[in-house]
């Protein structure tokens, strides 16, 4: 049994964890830190789609962050954070992950359509002004795109390089992760793409070098990723060494409701025009925000420092490095959640994040921590212990024996197995496989 499995069992059994008070609580994202109009909208969407309320809340927070974009930032020593993050919605087939995502992000899509129409008009004027000399007047028009679907890392980096914040929508998170390196022509394409995503999450600048184009600098990138996945493929998708050991998986906030009660279609409420108008108005005012630097109130600063210090001590005492990494990343997640919550609170127009909002962000961070440690991590660990699908052959057995014990007298072993020595040597060297 792997050390990760042993530690997981210890965490589950030690001290009679089934008797802990929190075991009897329903793990859910709270709503009370959001304005009443936002809370009403969240409940309306959840009722209309028959989906868990947690899905809707998480999508609303990240949609608001993209609408505000890089115009809004929070500086705390030594980091600058924007209202963006990586989020994965987990649920069984039929739990309705995609429907609410499309409903809530609709205003972003409408803004993209408007921006694209303006871009086409401006491009036509620019092309017409080029004339015979081929020199257009003014700067070449740029399409400022908010939402990105199936795309290459190069196309995403193009958008990030012009300074925009983008939302990558991956309806199927497994397909998104499996595509890493798909567009690379050679070398470590997958590793390079993961490294760039790690830098993007951390708002760390990086250059993009391509032979056919000029070098670009992706400066201070800001991007959200949102997508859904079923529990069964989650371990295979996020549980690889390449993603867990680099901290990629730890950078995700996972939404995995404990209960997803099925709601019959005849019992679901309709999305009303009034509800859509409310949400459109909320998102529109965030689009129109003037650039602003947010600050933490004294109370919010005190709450954050206490939370981060306690988190660091817990992470330092954690025997499992992976879980320690999850807890430490929450020190950054909680600041981003605080910005998003601020944008959807009654104080959205102010430049100070209140203690009340910080307290709310910390409670959300506690939800995401518990989901990751208690519900996601076991799926990641289980992935490493799934039985091999390889057919067991004589050659495979010999190879494993050679790796484990070493073969000092190949001639005697070959004679005992009825092989000639050359064939046995090829098997042990991996040149002959059954």
Positive/negative CA dihedral, 396, 401, 406, 412: negative
What is the Cα–Cα distance from 7 to 323, expressed in whole angstroms?
A: 11
Predicted local distance difference test score (pLDDT) of residue 15: 39
Predicted local distance difference test score (pLDDT) of residue 175: 93
Nearest to 21 by CA among 385, 406, 332, 370: 370
Do 280 and 417 have their domain in common? Answer: no
Do 399 and 376 have their domain in common? Answer: no
Does the pLDDT of residue 406 top 80, yes or no? no
Predicted local distance difference test score (pLDDT) of residue 434: 43
Do 375 and 400 have their domain in common? Answer: no
- 267 band by pLDDT with thresholds 50, 70 and 90: low
Do 409 and 378 have their domain in common? Answer: no
Asked if residue 332 belongs to a domain, the reply is no
What is the Cα–Cα distance from 2 to 13, expressed in whole angstroms?
A: 17
Do 276 and 414 have their domain in common? Answer: no
Overall domain count for the chain: 2
Asked if residue 333 belongs to a domain, the reply is no
294 bridge partner residues: 74
What percent of the chain clears pLDDT 90, i.e. is strictly above it? 61
What is the extent of the structural domain holding 407?
Answer: 394-428
Helix ranges (H only) for 131-230 are 153-161, 173-178, 189-201
Asked if residue 23 belongs to a domain, the reply is no
- 73 band by pLDDT with thresholds 50, 70 and 90: very high
Does the pLDDT of residue 81 top 50, yes or no? yes
Asked if residue 308 belongs to a domain, the reply is no
Tell me the chain's radius of gyration from C-alpha atoms: 26
Do 399 and 378 have their domain in common? Answer: no
Do 103 and 147 have their domain in common? Answer: yes
Predicted local distance difference test score (pLDDT) of residue 12: 41
**Cα–Cα distances in angstroms (integers) from residue 100 to residues 49, 59, 86, 259, 275, in the given order:** 7, 8, 17, 17, 13
Asked if residue 319 belongs to a domain, the reply is no
Does the pLDDT of residue 400 top 90, yes or no? no
Do 273 and 419 have their domain in common? Answer: no
Do 379 and 398 have their domain in common? Answer: no
What is the Cα–Cα distance from 191 to 195, expressed in whole angstroms?
A: 6
Positive/negative CA dihedral, 272, 339, 364, 229: positive
What is the Cα–Cα distance from 84 to 64, expressed in whole angstroms?
A: 9
Do 128 and 158 have their domain in common? Answer: yes
């Amino acid at each position: 049994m792997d050390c990760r499995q042993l530690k997981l069992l210890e965490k589950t059994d030690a001290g009679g964890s089934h008797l802990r008070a929190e075991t009897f609580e329903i793990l859910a994202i709270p709503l009370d830190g959001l304005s009443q109009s936002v809370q009403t909208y969240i409940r309306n969407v959840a009722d209309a789609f028959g989906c868990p309320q947690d899905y809707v809340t998480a999508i609303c927070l990240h949609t608001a962050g993209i609408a505000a974009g890089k115009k809004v930032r929070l500086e705390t020593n030594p980091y600058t954070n924007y209202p963006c993050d990586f989020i994965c919605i987990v649920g069984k087939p039929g739990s309705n992950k995609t429907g609410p995502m499309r409903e809530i992000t609709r205003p972003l899509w409408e803004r993209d359509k408007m921006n694209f129409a303006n871009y086409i008009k401006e491009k036509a004027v620019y092309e017409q002004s080029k004339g015979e000399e081929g020199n257009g007047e003014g700067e070449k028009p740029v399409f400022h795109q908010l939402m990105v679907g199936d795309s290459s890392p190069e196309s995403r980096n193009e958008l990030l390089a012009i300074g925009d914040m983008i939302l990558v929508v991956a309806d199927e998170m497994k397909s998104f992760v499996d595509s890493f390196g798909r567009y690379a022509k050679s070398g470590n394409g997958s590793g390079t793409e993961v490294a760039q995503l790690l830098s993007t999450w951390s708002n760390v600048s990086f250059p993009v070098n391509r032979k056919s184009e000029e070098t670009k600098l992706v400066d201070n990138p800001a991007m959200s990723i949102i997508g859904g996945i079923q529990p069964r493929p989650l371990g295979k998708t996020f549980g690889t060494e390449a993603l867990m050991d680099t901290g990629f998986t730890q950078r995700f906030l996972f939404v995995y409701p404990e209960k997803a009660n099925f709601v019959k279609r005849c019992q679901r409420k309709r999305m009303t025009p009034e509800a859509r108008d409310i949400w459109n108005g909320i998102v529109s005012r965030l689009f129109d925000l003037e650039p602003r630097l947010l600050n933490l109130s004294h109370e919010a600063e005190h709450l954050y420092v206490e939370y981060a210090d306690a988190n660091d001590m817990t992470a330092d005492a954690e025997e499992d490095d992976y879980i320690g990494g999850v807890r430490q990343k929450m020190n950054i997640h909680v600041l981003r959640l605080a910005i998003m919550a601020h944008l959807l609170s009654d104080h959205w127009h102010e430049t100070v994040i209140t203690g009340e909002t910080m307290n709310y962000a910390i409670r959300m961070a506690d939800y995401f921590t518990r989901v990751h440690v208690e519900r996601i991590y076991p799926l990641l660990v289980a992935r490493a212990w799934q039985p091999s699908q390889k057919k067991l052959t004589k050659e495979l057995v010999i190879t494993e024996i050679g790796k484990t014990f070493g073969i000092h007298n190949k001639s005697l072993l070959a004679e005992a197995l009825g092989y000639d020595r050359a064939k046995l040597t090829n098997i042990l060297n991996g040149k002959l496989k059954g």
